[in-house]
Amino acid sequence: MLDCQLIIFDCDGVLVDTEPVTNRLLAECLTEIGWPMTTQQSIETFKGRDLHVIRAEAEAKVGRELPDLLPTYRSRMFEAFASEPIGLIEGALELLDALDEAGTHKRCVASNGPMNKMQASLTSAGLIDRFHHEGEARIYSAYDIGIWKPEPGLFLHAAERMGSRPSDAVVIEDSVSGIVAANRAGMRVVGLAGLTSAAALEEAGATWVITSLNEVLVGLGG
């Protein structure tokens, strides 16, 4: 599964367990502007997608122009990250430890979220140092290049910065849009099922589907 040079980790839902809190806040914001939604509906509808698209969909749904959702949503999110420690995805720490020990793979993070969100969540979860190498942060945000998953540009950018070809990279993703992006980038992709079902990840084109990062750990030897 990991016969590759580079592992590109998605952030939310693969390393840090942010989706429950961020989708609760997004559902709250959408409900307030007239699109009633639960946390679960928000996860099903929006996980891994780009907030610009979400605003356009909300405007279509409520039939009027809406104020920018982002400032309210983001300020609530940073408050939540600061007040409730963000959990790790099960197996993430063990996988990073095993990769450190093996010393066989380069790794980075690539997310549709903004850089300060990744920094806040990875710091809260105690993982930020695991993605620094010789003083350089190996963390790539779609906001910094203006291309969001499911477009392939973010993964291509990350691989280029890491000095690897797409065919030498494996992406670990938990969302349909991320799996589509990896496929379009010509990369193999491990789909981590959880909030999104194994069937949906497989249908989106995941090369392998797992239900726990521990399965990657087991496959590290071969």
Binding region for Mg ion (CB under 5 A): 10, 12-13, 48, 174-175
Active-site pick, 3, 10, 97, 144:
10
Q: Which residue type, as a one-letter code, is found at position 209? A: V
210 backbone dihedrals φ, ψ, rounded to 5°: -130, 160
* Cα–Cα nearest to 9, from 205, 171, 180, 174: 171
Q: Are 37 and 27 in contact (CB under 8 A)?
A: yes
**Cβ at position 109, least distance to Mg ion in Å:** 11
Other Cβ atoms less than 10 A from the Cβ of 74: the count is 16
* Cα–Cα nearest to 117, from 81, 70, 164: 81
**Cβ at position 19, least distance to Mg ion in Å:** 7
Alpha carbons 211 and 111: distance in angstroms, whole number: 20
**Cβ at position 177, least distance to Mg ion in Å:** 9
Residue nearer to Mg ion on the CB measure, 135 or 191? 191
Residue nearer to Mg ion on the CB measure, 13 or 152? 13
Task: Encode 181-209: b = buried (16+ Cβ within 10 Å), e = exposed.
Answer: bbbbbebbbbbbbbbbeeebbeebebbbb
Catalytic residue status for 10: yes
Alpha carbons 125 and 123: distance in angstroms, whole number: 5
**Cβ at position 18, least distance to Mg ion in Å:** 8
Residue nearer to Mg ion on the CB measure, 22 or 164? 22
Q: Which residue type, as a one-letter code, is found at position 66? A: L
Residue nearer to Mg ion on the CB measure, 69 or 182? 182
User: Which residues are known to be catalytic?
Assistant: 10
